[in-house]
Structure 1
Amino acid sequence: MRTPPLLELVRPINCVLAGIAVIIGVVVATGGLNISRLILLLAFTVAAFVSGGGNAINDYFDRDIDRINRPNRPIPSGKITPKVALFTAHILFTTGIIFTIFLNIYCFLLATLNSVILFVYAWKLKRLGLVGNISIGYLVGSTLLFGGLATAHLRGGILVPAELLVLATMMALSTIGRELIKAVEDMRGDKKLGFKTFPITHGVEWTTAVAAGFICAAVALSPIPYLMGIFRWPYLLFLTFSAASFLAAIWIMIGKGEKAAGNASLACKLGMGIGLLGFLIGAFL
C-alpha cells in the first residue's frame, strides 16, 4: 500500500516522534501524567503540526537538491507541486501556533520561534555548515522543553526543571552529530548545487571527528538521568543499546568516509529511536 503524497511530505512518523518527545517532557517535568488530558493532547498536536510544517517547507526548498539526492520524494517525483508543499507548511505552522493559545504564552513563543527557525533553516541555514546542524539539534531538544513549558503553571514559576534541560541537551548533542553525518551522505548533491555544508568546506575526516565529539558528549551525559533519579533501571538497558548504536556510527565512518555515511546515519537513527524509547519507558516505570 502506497503512502499518500501529502503524508509522505509531512513525514507522519517524525511528527508522532516529536509529539512523544513532548509527552516525555511533560512526564519528566511533572512526575507523571496527572494533568489535564486536553493539555496533553494540545501539546502533542502542536509539536506534531510544527514538525510537519518543518518537513513540508524543507521539501519545498530542497526540491532541486532532492532531484539529485532523493528523486523519489513527493516534489521531484511529481506527486506534489511546490505550491501545495508551501501551502501545507503554512497551514501546519499556523494551526500549530494557534493551538498554543489554549496552553500559555511560553508555548506560543516557543512554537512561533521554532516555526521561524524551521523556515529559515530550510531556506538558508542548512546550506551554511555547522550553524544549520546546530539549529536542528536545538529544535529536536526543544521538543522536550515544550513539554515542560506546557506544564509551567504547576511549578510555581519554574518554567523548565533542571532534569529536562539535561535530557534536552543530550538529544541536541546526539542530533547535531547525526546531522553532520547526514551532511556527508548528501555531499554529492550539495556540491553540484554549490552549497557550503560542513563536510564540503572542512572535509569528511574533520566532519567525522566533530560528529564524534558531539556524539561522545551525548553518551557521556547519558548516565546522568539515572543518577539524578529521573529514570529507573530499565532506562540503563536502552541506554546501553542506544550508546552502542551511536558509537557504531562513528566506527563505521572512520576511514570509509562518504561511502559509509548512509549506514552510519541509519545507525544514528536507530540509536535515537532506542534512546527515545528508553526515555519513554524510563519515564513511566
Structure 2
Amino acid sequence: MSDFRAKKSSEPQLPDRSEFKTPLSVRKLVDARPMPAENISKLALIIRFLKPVTWIPVMWSFLCGAVASGAFGWKEVISIKFLLAMLLTGPLASGTCQMLNDYFDRDLDEINEPNRPIPGGAISLRNATILIALWSVFSVITGYLIHPLIGFYVVIGIINAHLYSANPIKLKKRLWAGNIIVAVSYLIIPWIAGEIAYNPSFTLSSLQPSLIVAGLFTLSSTGTMTINDFKSIEGDRMVGIRTLPVVFGETHAALIAAVLINAGQLLASGYMFLIGQTTCGIIVGALVVPQFYLQFALVKSPATMDVRYNAIAQNFLVAGMLVCAFAIRAARP
C-alpha cells in the first residue's frame, strides 16, 4: 500500500478536525455507503474482511513452536492436527481478530482506509457482528479439538483483540501497550500453542526455552508493529490515537522501531550461544545484518519505506525464528 500522504493530492481532502470531536469512548455509527465499484462475490468480500495477509505471522509462530517441541516432523505436515492448526491460526483466530479490529476501528478507517468493507458499506454492522460471533465460536472449538488448553488460548487472543481495539480501553491509543499486546498475540501465544500441540506432557521447564525465544522475538515484533503505524499516521493524529509515530515523530519512531527489532533478535542470538547452539546463534545474528542495512533507508524516509521495509526485512526475521526453533529442538535432552 502506498503512503497515505502521497495520495492526498489525488484523493479528496481529509475532513476537518472539527468533525472528529466525538470522544473515542463513544461508539459512532457509520452510514452505509454504496457497494464499491468492483462487484466482488460475497466469498471474496468475506476473505477481504478476514485480511489473509495478517494470518501468516501467526501461522509461522505456531509452526516454530511445533518444531521446537521436538515431536514435529514431515509426516505431521499432512496430519489432521496440523491442518486444524493452520485453519485455526489463519482464517479462524487471526481472521476473528482482524474482523474485530475493523469493527471497532470503523471510524478511523473512514479516514485511512475508506474502502474497507464496513466504512465502504459493503458489510453492515449487523452482518459483521454475526460473522464475528460465528468465527469466534468456530475458533474456540477448533482450538479445543487440538488441545483443551489451546482452546483457552484462543479465548485469551480474542480478549486481547477487544482490549486492543474496543473502547473504552482501546490499547492501540495508549502508546506502547497496543503494539505489545499484538506482538504477544502474534508470537508468544501461537508459539507456545505449537509446543503444547505436539508435546502434551509439557512442563514449565520444557517450555522455558520457547518462552524466552518467543519473548525476545516479541520485542522485535513490537518494533515491526510500530512500522505498521506509519501508514495511518494522519488519521491517528486526527482522532487522538497515540502511536509512536504520532507521539515521537516519524524519524524518532523509526529509530525506536529499529532498535527494538535488532535488540530482540541479537538477544535471541545470544541465547542460542547459552544453550550450546553456536552455529544457530551465528546464523540468527547474521540475519540481522540485512535488516540493519535496510533500516538506514527506513529512518531516512519512514512514511515511504514502511511497506517496502516490512516486505523485505520480515523475511530475515521470520527465518531467524525458525532457526531458533530448530536450535531449541536440537538442545532438548
TM range (shorter): 0.7 to 0.9
Q: Which amino acid aligns with 1:100?
A: G
**Selected match of 1:43 from 66, 85, 92:** 85
The one-letter code sitting in structure 2 at the alignment partner of 1:57 is: L
Distance 1:175 1:282 in 2: 15
Alpha-carbon distance between aligned partners in 1 of 2:83 and 2:183, rounded to the nearest angstrom = 24
1:220 aligns with 2:260: no
5+ residue gaps, structure 2, are 1-37, 328-333
1:191: how far off?
1.4
Q: Using a 3 Å threshold, how does the CA distance of structure 1 residues 244 and 71 change in structure 2: closer, same or farther? A: farther
Specify which of 92, 112, 131 is matched with residue 88 of structure 1.
131
Aligned equivalents of 1:172, 1:8: Cα separation in 2: 27
> Which of 288, 294, 302 is equivalent to 1:243?
288
If the length of structure 1 is used for normalisation, what is the TM-score? 0.82
Q: Quick check: 1:74 aligned with 2:114?
A: no
Q: State the partner residue of 1:129.
A: 175
Q: 1:239 to 1:75 in 2, by over 3 A?
A: farther
Q: In the aligned structure 1, how far is the partner of 2:155 from the partner of 2:256?
A: 30
8 Å CA contact 1:18, 1:51 repeated in 2: yes
Judged with a 3 Å threshold, the aligned counterparts in structure 2 of structure 1 residues 149 and 159 are, in CA distance, closer, same or farther, namely farther
- 1:226 CA displacement: 5.4
Which structure has greater helix proportion? 1
Gaps of 5+ in 1: none
Please list, as runs of the form range in 1=range in 2, the aligned pairs for 1:101-250 lying within 5 A after superposition: 101-123=144-166, 124-142=170-188, 143-155=190-202, 157-158=203-204, 161-224=207-270, 227=273, 228=275, 236=283, 240=286, 242-244=287-289, 246-250=291-295
Matched, 1:25 2:65: yes
Q: CA deviation at 1:195?
A: 2.2
What is the SS of the residue equivalent to 2:69?
helix
Query: Do residues 264 (structure 1) and 310 (structure 2) align?
Result: no
Give CA deviations for 1:246-280 in whole Å, capped at 9, x if unaligned: 32453234354xxx334134313432234324545
Residues 239 and 275, structure 1, Cα contact 8 Å, conserved in 2 = no
CA contact (8 A) 1:97 1:112 kept: yes
CA distance in 1, matches of 2:285, 2:52: 25
Q: Is the 8 A contact 1:230 1:283 kept in 2?
A: no
Cα-Cα RMSD:
3.2
CA drift at 1:180: 1.6
Q: 1:104-159: CA deviations, max 9, x gaps?
A: 3321221111110012212111122111111111111122111112234244x347
- How many angstroms apart in 2 are the aligned matches of 1:66 and 1:19? 26
How many Å separate the matches in 1 of 2:176 and 2:134?
29
1:79 is paired with a residue whose SS is coil
SS at match of 1:30: coil
Aligned length: 279
Q: Is the 8 A contact 2:223 2:258 kept in 1?
A: yes
Residue aligning to 2:35: none
| Equivalent residues of 1:24, 1:283 under 8 A apart | yes
Deviation at 1:51, TM superposition (A): 0.5
Pair 171,266 (structure 1): closer, same or farther in 2 beyond 3 Å:
farther
Cα-to-partner distance string for 1:60-104 (whole Å, 9 max, x where unaligned): 112221222122322233332233333222222221111222233
